[in-house]
Structure 1
Amino acid sequence: MQQTERSLPRKNTEALGISSQKVIEFLDHLKAHQIEMHSFMLLRHGQVAADGWWAPYGPELPHMLFSLSKSFTSTAIGMALHEGILTLDDTVISFFPEDLPVEVPDHLAAMQIRHLLMMGTGHDKDTTDALHEAEDGNWVKAFLQLPVPHEPGTHFLYNTGATYMLSAILQKASGQRLLDYLKPRLFEPLGIEGPTWETCPRGINTGGYGLSIKTEDIAKFGQLYLQKGVWHGVRLIEEEWIQEATNKQISNGDGGDSDWSQGYGYQFWRCRHGVYRGDGAFGQFCIVMPEQDAVIAITAGTGDMQGILNDVWDHLLDAFLPEPIEVDEYSAELDERLAKLHLDMPKFEPASELETQINGKSYELEENQYSLQGMRLQFDKESACLVLKRNTEEKITLGRHSWITGPSHMFGGKESLLASSFTWKSQDELVLTIRGIETPFCITMEIQFKGDTIVINDRFNVSFGMPEAVIIQGKAN
């Protein structure tokens, strides 16, 4: 029976030789740069030195990892390699004879598992859209039909479809879905409870994205890699694999000041300063710092991922001292700051006389890209209920100048928690803030009431190619 640990051990910053002042500076600069943080955990020598969650986010909540999922998929391949059920030299086409094109091009025939891992498949554009557009839901077949203009291993292209293929190959080779394969080998030994992973239409875990776990779980994963694959004296991952996966396997740029051009391993990025990382869209990070014997786990909702890394290098690299500190006059201030972290909600006026007129009134909405058909609002003393109509009705309860938490299917299609609030910007303009607190996403809806008509200005904090704002008009039924 493998030993498990449900929470990481803790020591104060003095005992771990970390400057609390530098950590405070890091937090201050993130705020000054308007980088929306959701959580932060700093480990040194395998112990938690500092952690915090920006309310309404909390330590008990899982968070969507997006492409940070890729590093977990890579880990499964490393484990399968050690178990002898596949090799890095295995060709991709050898696993899917039933899905091959009539004529297999030379570059596709030459593509190996190692090329998927290093993002060197030979494609000239990310394959993900083609997979999602496959009418029959067969993402493997869609991947194998695409042209491969470059010789595999010679051309880096960040390609989420390649990671999906790793998941599909693992399922073929092991007879288990990626999530099920990793549970006894990785998640359970690390004490990671309740991980979830999205699947494609045919039930294969998406691999390149879709994993949701807690911030501390991200930190444990990084610590496992820092410890060269050993957890509580039990080897979970081969050290040779960790060495290969986290070292440069292919060039992805000319270095410089970008942490996206320092070289790429097997689903891990090389960074400046001898650091490596897994990361995901909008600021999900697992940063491993071997020289400092440290790990940093971050979840966020920002488009400025380089800004987060710059602040890590500018403020936290110098925070690690060679010996414990006898007295740190900033440690109490850091503890207080971490305990009070929060994201501000808009607060103007708590109420409007208009509430009695619009209470329960239904509005029919013009055609829009969200496929919303209608909405209505119902107010009471401390809250409001927003009802959005598509094919079915979605109800969201919002606090009056406070967060109210409740389940919803608004973000990502599956049920997850929202934290929502409202305020009146003026007597006829209502502002709703809806946060998906298991995701990076936040929607701000500004609703202007003009007689029997409404105009909704709808904005996401971050998104994949969505317009900055969407205007939706409606009329009372």
Structure 2
Amino acid sequence: MSTEATTVRPSEGPSAGSTLPRTSPSAQGVDARGIAAFVDALENTPGVEPHSLQVLRHGAVVAEGWWAPYAPERPHLLYSLSKSFTSTALGFAVAEGLVDLDATVLSYFPEFDAEVTDDRARRILVRHVANMASGHREETLERALQHPSGDIVRGFLQIRPDEEPGTLFCYNQPCTFSVSAIVQRQAGQGLLEFLRPRLLEPLGIDPAGVGWLLDGQDRELGFSGFHAQTEAIAKLGQLYLQRGVWNGERLLPEAWVAEATRSHIDNSSFNTNPDWGQGYGFQFWMARHGYRGDGAYGQFCVVLPEQDAVVAVTSQSPDMQAVLDALWEHLLPALDAAELPGADVEDQLVQRLSNLALPTAGGTPMTGEFTPATGNQQSTLTGVVVTDGEVVLHDAGSELRAAIGEGEWAVTGPLAVTSTPGGIDVVFVETPHRLHLGLHGSEFTATWETVPLHASALSILRKPVRD
């Protein structure tokens, strides 16, 4: 199997179903050398593992690439970048009169009225949860989930805010879940169903290519769990950059875009990283340059109005600030370049972006049946069977079977596997995550490169499909 990433080259025109034109960087005044330097930084900075990149200038894709085994047609788990899609759903709901930003959260759940007795909790407005200003000083998700009903909103409204709502920023998942739950209740349908005719179809995003994890009550999580292709991220950013207009048609009110992407509350004390203390809008972060949606392990939709540019990144990067630092250092200056290189430099960039791949270590794995050693990070994985060229994972009652590549990535459904000197690596290509399997005698060890934040069973680590 080839280790080349599947990419769409700028010279080959739009990918299937796309409404984004492709051009060379110089055609849009972008220095290809800066793009190459940004790719260098992504590949060589500790704590950063890139999976995909799209750079848009003046509405056209000037550079894009996917690091094999990731590919353009693959959805990627976006973690908290999901919040910006939820915010967009709220924008549609407000525009259609389904939701009032100045109504209380409780007013949309009258069945909880008698049990929500705290005065501050009763005063939490929709706009407060939209900008992470419920008044709580700490994340409340675990406490909200402890409510016997399992209803996150119900549990959240029974946790007394530490301060008056609207006065304190706290990154708090039940805030976004409340937004999601309100929109779903008022629309009478799930978020994806609601977004399909309003966002997905107008932007040319295939509804079959996206999925959203559900809570225990059949509602999309809202705060996380959205799976989408890189181009969907770029298109969302471009819609906001164009102030809600797409192909000459207004989808979102311009006033909503302005409100969602300005700072509503001071978050300067939230995080020591400079790009997490510039202010917060409606599920968008303000940044040193422009604004963005982002998610755990380096999922980014960066919108740069001054440069008329959008940058979409998916990755497995615990050091998310390093990704932004590299963007500001290398890519940002390239968007306003005084001099542009010759065609040979752009040809080299196209060739490089067409051959991106995560490195492989080689080696031939041991064959046999392996039982878990002590201390495995994936406790549900009860057995590993390796034969010549194939691995079978026995996990939580499921059997996951995949080919093994030696010195390359072998992709089987949502799994990509390569051999290592001491075992095999399994990449779950619809998520950021990689599982290292060490094979020793008759035992295996299972260690995550980055630990999944949602799934307990390995079979869940892929785009969900709603029945």
> TM (normalized to structure 1)?
0.86
1:433 match: 425
Displacement after TM superposition at 1:143 (Å): 1.3
2:353 match: 338
Is the CA contact (8 Å cut-off) linking 1:20 and 1:328 kept in structure 2?
A: no
Displacement after TM superposition at 1:5 (Å): 6.0
> CA distance change for structure 1 residues 147 and 55 in 2, over 3 Å: closer, same or farther?
same
Is the CA contact (8 Å cut-off) linking 2:377 and 2:448 kept in structure 1?
A: no
User: Match of 2:65, SS?
Assistant: strand
Inter-partner Cα distance in structure 2 for 1:55 and 1:283 = 17
Q: What amino acid is aligned across from residue 287 of structure 1 in structure 2?
A: V
1:210 match: 225
Displacement after TM superposition at 1:365 (Å): 5.8
Moved over 6 A (4+): none
Inter-partner Cα distance in structure 1 for 2:433 and 2:358 = 13
2:71 match: 58
Equivalent residue in structure 2 for 1:267, among 261, 275, 283: 283
Equivalent residue in structure 1 for 2:394, among 367, 388, 404: 388
> CA distance change for structure 1 residues 147 and 332 in 2, over 3 Å: closer, same or farther?
same
> CA distance change for structure 1 residues 173 and 385 in 2, over 3 Å: closer, same or farther?
same
Residues 239-298 of structure 1, C-alpha deviations (whole Å, 9 max, x = no match): 01101110110010069861000000110000003x100001000000000010000000
Inter-partner Cα distance in structure 1 for 2:419 and 2:341 = 47
Displacement after TM superposition at 1:363 (Å): 3.4
1:472 match: none
Equivalent residue in structure 2 for 1:350, among 316, 339, 364: 364
1:11 aligns with 2:23: yes
Equivalent residue in structure 1 for 2:108, among 95, 103, 120: 95
Residues 66-103 of structure 1, C-alpha deviations (whole Å, 9 max, x = no match): 11111111111111111112211010111112124535
The two structures, once aligned, show a CA RMSD in angstroms of 2.3
Q: Which runs of 5+ in 1 are unaligned?
A: 408-416, 467-477
Q: Which runs of 5+ in 2 are unaligned?
A: 1-15, 455-467
2:274 match: 258
Superposition map of 1:219-368 within 5 A: 219-253=234-268, 258-273=274-289, 275-321=290-336, 325=340, 327-347=342-362, 349-350=363-364, 355=367, 359=368, 361=369, 363=371
Displacement after TM superposition at 1:388 (Å): 2.0
1:411 match: none
1:189 match: 202
1:29 match: 41
Inter-partner Cα distance in structure 2 for 1:379 and 1:387 = 12
Equivalent residue in structure 1 for 2:434, among 419, 442, 447: 442
1:421 match: 418
User: Match of 1:145, SS?
Assistant: coil
Is the CA contact (8 Å cut-off) linking 2:57 and 2:308 kept in structure 1?
A: yes
1:462 aligns with 2:459: no
Superposition map of 1:140-155 within 5 A: 140-155=153-168
Is the CA contact (8 Å cut-off) linking 1:350 and 1:401 kept in structure 2?
A: no
> CA distance change for structure 1 residues 277 and 137 in 2, over 3 Å: closer, same or farther?
same
Displacement after TM superposition at 1:397 (Å): 3.2
1:200 match: 215
User: Match of 1:206, SS?
Assistant: coil
Inter-partner Cα distance in structure 2 for 1:287 and 1:112 = 28
Displacement after TM superposition at 1:135 (Å): 4.3
Is the CA contact (8 Å cut-off) linking 2:116 and 2:157 kept in structure 1?
A: no
> CA distance change for structure 1 residues 446 and 202 in 2, over 3 Å: closer, same or farther?
same
Residues 397-443 of structure 1, C-alpha deviations (whole Å, 9 max, x = no match): 32233322223xxxxxxxxx0101224x3xxxx32100011110001
User: Match of 1:279, SS?
Assistant: strand
Inter-partner Cα distance in structure 2 for 1:116 and 1:144 = 11
User: Match of 1:147, SS?
Assistant: coil
Superposition map of 1:73-222 within 5 A: 73-100=86-113, 102-193=115-206, 194=208, 195-222=210-237
Is the CA contact (8 Å cut-off) linking 1:100 and 1:144 kept in structure 2?
A: no
> CA distance change for structure 1 residues 431 and 149 in 2, over 3 Å: closer, same or farther?
same
The structure with the larger Rg is 1
> CA distance change for structure 1 residues 365 and 448 in 2, over 3 Å: closer, same or farther?
closer
Equivalent residue in structure 2 for 1:401, among 396, 407, 412: 407
Stretch deviating more after TM superposition (194-203 or 181-190): 194-203
Is the CA contact (8 Å cut-off) linking 1:62 and 1:215 kept in structure 2?
A: yes
Inter-partner Cα distance in structure 1 for 2:163 and 2:276 = 21
> CA distance change for structure 1 residues 339 and 369 in 2, over 3 Å: closer, same or farther?
closer
Percent identical pairs in the alignment equals 39
Q: What amino acid is aligned across from residue 425 of structure 2 in structure 1?
A: T
Q: What amino acid is aligned across from residue 398 of structure 1 in structure 2?
A: I
Q: What amino acid is aligned across from residue 228 of structure 2 in structure 1?
A: I
Is the CA contact (8 Å cut-off) linking 2:22 and 2:60 kept in structure 1?
A: yes
Inter-partner Cα distance in structure 1 for 2:436 and 2:370 = 20
Stretch deviating more after TM superposition (396-405 or 22-31): 396-405
Q: What amino acid is aligned across from residue 284 of structure 2 in structure 1?
A: F
Is the CA contact (8 Å cut-off) linking 2:402 and 2:412 kept in structure 1?
A: yes
Inter-partner Cα distance in structure 2 for 1:390 and 1:70 = 30
**Matched pairs, number:** 435
Inter-partner Cα distance in structure 2 for 1:281 and 1:447 = 29
Structure with the greater relative contact order (CA < 8 A, sep ≥ 6): 1 or 2?
A: 2
Is the CA contact (8 Å cut-off) linking 1:365 and 1:374 kept in structure 2?
A: no
> CA distance change for structure 1 residues 33 and 271 in 2, over 3 Å: closer, same or farther?
same
Inter-partner Cα distance in structure 2 for 1:373 and 1:309 = 35
Residues 360-390 of structure 1, C-alpha deviations (whole Å, 9 max, x = no match): x46366686633463242422xx12233253
Is the CA contact (8 Å cut-off) linking 2:370 and 2:439 kept in structure 1?
A: no
Q: What amino acid is aligned across from residue 119 of structure 2 in structure 1?
A: D
